[in-house]
Structures are given as C-alpha cells and as structure tokens.
Structure 1
Amino acid sequence: MTEFSGSTVSTNRPDFGELLRVFTRIGFLSFGGPAGQIALMHRELVDERQWVSEDQYLHALNFCHLLPGPEAQQLATWIGWKLHGLRGGLAAGLLFVVPGALVMLALSMLYAFAANLDWFAALFLGIKAAVLAIVVQALLRIAGRSLNTGFKKALAVVAFAALFFLDLPFPLVVLGAGGIGMLVAASRPDWLGIKLGGATPVSGPRPWGLTMRTIAIWGAIWAAPMAVVLVTLGRGHVLWEIGSFFSQLAVVTFGGAYAVLAYMAQQAVQSYGWLSPGEMADGLGLAETTPGPLIMVTQFVGYLAAFRSPEPFTPLVAGLLGAALTTWVTFAPCFLWIFTFAPWIERMENAKRLKGGLAALTAAVVGVIANLTVWFFIHVLFARVSEVETGPFRLYVPDWTSLDWRAGLLAALSAVLLFRFKWNVIKVLGITAIGGLLLGRIA
C-alpha cells in the first residue's frame, strides 16, 4: 500500500469488512450533492474514525477537482485505495454509486411507463419548478466560492456568453478555459488566486510502469461493452449512440453534474431527440432525491433513449441495457482516473500550472451553470420556445402566450423554501410535487 508523506498521517487502518460496512452506510446516506457527500465522508472517515488525516483528505479532494467526473465518488475511491489497495478502491467507489443507481433505475422505469398519465404529469410539474430554484441555488453557491478575483469573474461571463449566445461546444469552452488558466498561472497566478502548498516534494522513482498498465487495463474495461454493442448491433443502434455519447461526456464532466447538464441537454434533446427539455428537468429532480452522485441523471437519459427505440428488444429490456451501459461508461472512467493518478497525487501538490487550469476551469463552470439555469428557466416556464439565429448569435425567444403560471408559482414557492427557510432539497421537492398534483387539473 502506498502511504503519503504529508504533515499529518493517519495510523488507523480498518479491516476490509469494516471498510465495506462504513462505505455501504455512506452510499445509502450520500444525499445533498457533492458538498453534502464530501462533508459526510469527512465526518465519518476523518473526524470519527481517523482513517485518513485532514491534510490527506483535503489534498486528495483538491486533486479530484482536477479530474473529470464526480469528485465525491472519486474521493471515496481514493480513500478505499489508500486503505486496501485496488480492492478497497473498487469497493468504496462502487458502494458510493450502486445504491443511488438502483434507486434511479427504479424511478426511471416508473417514469417511462407512467409518463402519459395525467396525475404523473401533474406531479412532475412541481418537480420541474423546484429544479429551477435548486439550480439557481447551486449557481449562487458555486459562484460565491469560486469567483474570488476579477479575472475569474470575467472568465465566467465569457463562458456564459460563448454557450448561450454563440452556441459554442461545451468541451471547447471548459477545456479552453483550463488552457487559459495554465498559461495565466505561469506569469500572473494572483489573477487566479493561486496559493501553492508547502509540502516537501516526494522522492523516489516515478511509477510510470504502473501508470501505463493501469491505463491499458481500465481502458479495456471501459471499452469492453462498446465492443460487444459494435459487434452485435452495429454503429447505427441507439445503444452505440448512447455509449459513444456518454463516453465522450465522461471525459469532459468537469465541475460536476450541473455544469455538464447544459451540454447533455443540448445533445440529448436537440441532436439526438431522446427526450424533451421538461423531461431533462424531471431527470435532474429525480437525481436530487436519490443518494450518490447527481451525474446519475445520465442513467435516466440512457434508459429513456433506449426504451423509446428498443428494436430488436422489448422496451423494458432495451431500457435496462441503456441504463446499464450509460452507468458503465460514466463511472468506469472514474476508476481509471483514480487508479492511474493515485500514486502521483502528492507529487502534483505544487503543480502551479495544474492549479491554474483548475481555477480557470472552475470559474468557467459558473458561466456554464448560468447557461443551464437560463435554459431550464425558459423551457420549464414556457411551452413554446423558438431559436433565432442572427449572424453568429443564437437566441432563445419564448412565446409569452405559452407561459405556464403554475410552474412559475411553484418555482417561486421553491425559492422561498430554499433561500428564506433553508429547507433541504428533498423536502422542497416533496412540497412542490404535492403542489403540482393540486394545480395539475387547473387549466
């Protein structure tokens, strides 16, 4: 087992059975998005059991922010790896995901079969409205934490404009911001608020051989189901489209689920036609009610996409295959990143360019989430929205006669409950779902 040489090193090491029990508990209690999940693991693993030290936990968390994918799940994987090597990392990472994946699968199945029922549509009227307030809350929280310099604020504004008005691809915007950050960090790190750590550099040979083997093995694991789909169903099947799309998404999911939702919605709704904007909001609402990473909303999209184009399977079988494939190609890369870079984490603590790239990328993510917020706002509150292109610019123009006053009322109620009374997300979703049922029969 590789140990860290940080200033404070934990000496408590649980047996494998105890690790399984604790991470099972965490997996079923990890509600509240990444902030709540990271706080829960800190209390359970650092404060109460002292399996890792404060320095180690924060250092690994900072590095996980550099990686695409859900940082809380990757942090859990790293802790499992540190305590019990490969099997510990697999156990911790899977237990963080599996409970939420099973719940999300059950909810997706219910949604697909009941979507045409009036009462079900009324129920999700309230959930969609609550999602508006939830996304605004996430935007304000991340902006308050991330935009601590003028340069970062400018990056956020540019990212929003590039996505909302110019319709530039999400990967280009976030990766471009990361590249700008790496360049700026070399000469003006203060623009990005970078403070380098003071840890002693790690000595000893660099684990290049282990790194290459890990990449080869986990790359094959990641690609295996796609190879099966290619051989049996071909490139024209919806399962190939699902696997290809979410594999690409797994590489650019910096900044968490909210950041990538706008790109996912753009592709899943407009390019592939798998679901509607309102259904995308429904999926996020369902993901908010389940434990585990919010990026589990991808499973909802994969299930519906395959359910609605099932040939040669039945809709249920196709949906299950779509959900399983989506989950596989979403989370297999997370294990690849962690198992590849775990031996390098401490060596990278003082990497100024990497920190600059992360700081700039995080600032751009605020603009990305702002784009998602406006996109959801327009499509949830208005039944008809037109896209107007003027030169290089793209504008969304809602039809004001199609305004859904019920959704607006429930969104306002959600905002009051979240911001004024500090209710948690699940309680707000419950109240607005009931409100949706009550208002659903009003024309």
Structure 2
Amino acid sequence: MERYTLQQLVVYFLKLGTIGFGGPVALVGYMHRDLVEKRQWITEEDYREGMALSQLAPGPLAAQLAIYIGFIHYRIIGATLAGLAFVLPSFIIVLALGFAYVHAGGLPWMQAIFYGIGAAVIGIITISGYKLVRKSLGSDKLLWIISIVLAISTALTEKENIWLILAGGAAVWFYREPLARKILGTWYPLPMLLQVQQNFFQDEKLASLGWFFFKAGAFVFGSGLAIVPFLYGGVVKDYQWLNEQQFLDSVAVAMITPGPVVITVGFIGYLVAGVPGACVAALATFLPCYLCTVLPAPYFRKYGKHPGIKAWVDGITAGAIGAIAGAVFVLGKRQLTDLPSICIALITILLLLKFRKLPEPLLILLAAITGLLIRFYSS
C-alpha cells in the first residue's frame, strides 16, 4: 500500500506549480523537502535516481523530476498527471500575462515596467550562468574550451549552434571513452532530425511553431535558461515572429511566474498565434521532456550510471552554458542602452551575489517599480 494516493500527488504538484518560485534549483529542493523529508512519500534513492535522469536527459530539470516522481508508484498515468499538474498553473498565468501584454503593450506604464524588468533579467541570467559555470565546468579544461567556443559563436552569430553543442558532447564522449568511436553509428540518426527543411510547414504557422518548439525542448539540458539562446536564434533571427524587445519581455515573464522557466514558450506562442499558438508551443516543448523521462525510467537504474552517457551529457551541458553566456551578451547589448538600465542590471547582480537567498521575483518587482519611477520623472 502506497503512502499517498494519486490524487494527493496531483494536488501537491498543482500547489507547487502555483507558488513555486525560485527557478529549477529551488523547485527540486522543495520536492526533496516535502516528498522525501516531511511526507516520506518517496525514498532518498528514488529521489536521487530521478535527479540523475533529469540531468542526463534533455528537458527542464524540475519538470522532469516531477514527471519521474509521478512515475515511481503510478507509472504512465502518474507521470502524465504529475507533469500536467506542475506545468498547468504557470501556463495559465503566462496566458493571462500574454493577454494583458498584447492589449496594453503600447501603454507607457507597461513599457516602463518592462524597461526595468528587462534590465533586471539581464542581471539574473548573468548570475544564473555564473552558478552553472561553477557547478558544471569545474577545472575540466575540455569543458571550458567547449563552453568558450559556444559563448563566442553565440555572441557573434546571435543564435545558438546546435551542431556545435552536439559536437561538444561527442568530443567529451570520445575523450573519456575511446571505444565510443566503434558505436558512433548508433548516435548518428538523432542529429538528422534537425535537417528537416524549415519550410516544410511554411503554409501552416501552428505546424511551424510545433516543429520549432519540439526541437527546442529536445535540446534543453538541466537549466531552463539553456533554451533562451536557442529560442532567440529561431524566434527573433530566423522566423522573425517577435522583435528583440518582445523576446526579452518573454524571458522576463518567465522570471516573474512560478513553475519552470521554460514556460516562457507559452507566452511566446501566445504572442505569435494567440491561445492555439500558446498551447502548441507548450505541448511541443514539454513532449520531448515527457518522453525522455517516461521511456527510459524503467531501465535507468541499470544503465543510467554508464560513464559514456555521463560524458556525452557533460559535453552538451558545457556547450549549453557557453550559449547562455553568449545570449547574455546579445540581449544585454540591446537592453542596456542607457545609464539607468545598466545600473539596474549591475545592482541586480550585486544583490544576488551578496544575498544568495534573495527571491528573484522580489528583484523583478523592485525593477518594475524602478522602471516606472524613471519614466515618470524623465517625462
């Protein structure tokens, strides 16, 4: 007899998805505190296996862990309902914010709010990238080289190069596992998915949205922020669905809402094609995350610790971190255009360095107020 019912688990993730602020690290910490320590619904071993799988497979960390926890005792139905319950509240919130943004985006007060928020977001992403570097790269010279190459490439081309990230994963794999060359052929078909012509669905915007966001979801490792440079390259540079300010505002929305950061795709989808666009973008982004958790879950205990798999993911993660650094440069170059915005970003960075537990939504709120005051007194 399980210690909890499926209904209790769904209610828990609905609550966490509604009030869970702080990004992926905070969210997975809440799950450990609530489900392992307090309620003892799952064991420490189950939690650690879920964390390992979430870090190895593509997809936002917190959402994958929620799906895995649902799978532990209730298999497919548990994984599905837990994932939906965790994502649904933040999706509804970004829909509401998208509606407000579209209908009030031209008003001076809305522009002033996002002026301040956009500058603070640059600071927040900078610190998040710094934390990822410290946690993931360590003293490994090869990982540093991969990360630096991706940072420079993203900064110069203003888009994320998926092939370089995959090459980074392969480089670490080859370096740590010499025998990997013998099974290279088994990995070859995966990148081929990216070679599908972009104009295949050129007459159907929703189909184009779905395919683009499916690829985005398939290459997000660990932190939801890893999706930012990929989205920028496609949404702004290639398809030109949004302008640069709208994209930065979309990232800001993800920062001020609970739940996974990746939920910004719902906001972007709404701006591009309304409610249908939001639904398609969110579904397509989270589908790879769901499949990459549910399908390998039964076998992960046996194969998940294989050094070759870990080497591959370490290389891809290093590339994603570099791409985030490059994206910070690109977005900052466009958002930090005057002294007040630069000051907001720098103050945000200093506060996060000084007070490590400072809630990011509080900083976003203060930045919004600051933006209003700056525009009010300068007008």
Taking structure 1 as the reference length, the TM-score comes to: 0.76
Q: Which runs of 5+ in 1 are unaligned?
A: 1-10, 190-229, 307-318, 383-403
Instruction: Kindly indicate whether the alpha-carbon contact (under 8 Å) linking 2:18 and 2:89 is maintained by their aligned counterparts in 1.
Output: yes
Q: Aligned residue for 1:153? A: 144
Of 329, 350, 353, which residue of structure 2 is paired with 1:419? 353
Q: Aligned residue for 1:406? A: 340
Percent of matched pairs sharing the same residue: 29
Q: Aligned residue for 1:40? A: 30
Deviates more, 1:21-30 or 1:363-372: 21-30
Task: Summarize deviations over 1:142-190 as a string: whole Å, max 9, x none.
Answer: 011011122222221122123323667521122111111211121599x
What pairs with 1:287-366 in structure 2 (closer than 5 Å)?
287-306=254-273, 319-366=274-321
| Matched residue type, 2:8 | E
CA gap 1:300/1:347 in 2 versus in 1, 3 angstroms = same
Instruction: Indicate yes or no: 2:240 matched with 1:273.
Output: yes
Instruction: Indicate yes or no: 2:76 matched with 1:89.
Output: no
Of 368, 373, 377, which residue of structure 1 is paired with 2:323? 368
Cα distance between partner residues in 1 of 2:276 and 2:58: 24
Cα distance between partner residues in 2 of 1:169 and 1:140: 19
Q: Displacement of 1:13 after TM fit?
A: 3.1
Structure with higher RCO (Cα < 8 A, 6+ apart): 2
Q: Aligned residue for 1:186? A: 177
Q: Which runs of 5+ in 2 are unaligned?
A: 181-199
Instruction: Kindly indicate whether the alpha-carbon contact (under 8 Å) linking 1:126 and 1:436 is maintained by their aligned counterparts in 2.
Output: yes
Cα distance between partner residues in 2 of 1:120 and 1:60: 41
Secondary structure class of the residue paired with 1:336: helix
Of 135, 139, 147, which residue of structure 1 is paired with 2:125? 135
Q: Aligned residue for 1:119? A: 109
Q: Aligned residue for 1:209? A: none
Q: Aligned residue for 1:163? A: 154
Cα distance between partner residues in 1 of 2:25 and 2:342: 28
Instruction: Indicate yes or no: 2:206 matched with 1:239.
Output: yes
Q: Displacement of 1:332 after TM fit?
A: 2.3
Cα distance between partner residues in 1 of 2:179 and 2:14: 45
Cα distance between partner residues in 1 of 2:371 and 2:348: 12
Of 209, 215, 223, which residue of structure 2 is paired with 1:248? 215
> Which of the pair has more CA radius of gyration?
1
| Matched residue type, 1:86 | I
Structure number with higher helix proportion:
2
Instruction: Kindly indicate whether the alpha-carbon contact (under 8 Å) linking 1:255 and 1:365 is maintained by their aligned counterparts in 2.
Output: no
Q: How many residues align?
A: 357
Cα distance between partner residues in 1 of 2:78 and 2:305: 27
Cα distance between partner residues in 1 of 2:350 and 2:61: 29
CA gap 1:81/1:416 in 2 versus in 1, 3 angstroms = same
CA gap 1:364/1:323 in 2 versus in 1, 3 angstroms = same
**Aligned-pair RMSD on alpha carbons?**
2.0
Taking structure 2 as the reference length, the TM-score comes to: 0.89
Q: Aligned residue for 1:387? A: none
